[in-house]
Amino acid sequence: MSDAQSPDTPDVVPPGWVLTPWREKFAGAAGPYYFREGEASGVGIVVEERHLNLGGLAHGGCLATLADMSLWDICRRKVGPFRGVTVTMNTEFLGPGHPGEFIYAEGDALKSTGSLMFARGVVRAGERVIMNFSGTVKRLRAD
């Protein structure tokens, strides 16, 4: 367990992942989320009962939200903090996420222009790839 991990971090969360401080707004309601420590991108979640679809597997909306959070993590690690919006996100669902599993998204920044950033990644459950994603994020001017 990392020094930054809480003693109540679920056992399925691997070392090197820390609970995010997001406890409010949509991210707080959809999480809790974990960030990978270090330079490599990574956002994860433990699949809980409330994340399931009617078939008892991780809901596609839960996976898409995780991918969207990961787009931001990828871009933030590339250029630093910024305000912006997701312009596009494409997903391909390849397999299920199961209750109690730690699933995580990771990826790479592909290109950055003046205000647009392009990234892609995968969502994994262990070594299984369960989703591919790509997207475009637009950086907004500071008010």
Whether residue 21 is preceded by a cis peptide bond, meaning omega within 30 degrees of 0, is no
The domain limits of the chain are 17-139
Other C-beta atoms within 10 Å of 80: how many? 7
What mean pLDDT, rounded, does the chain reach? 89
15-60, pLDDT tens digit by residue?
999 988 877 778 778 888 999 988 888 999 999 999 999 999 999 9
At the second CATH level, the architecture of 17-139 is: Roll (3.10)
Distances (CA, A) of 1 to 6, 17, 40: 8, 9, 18
d(CA 105, CA 107): 7
Q: Compute, in degrees rounded to 10, the torsion defined by CA atoms 107, 85, 69, 47.
A: -130
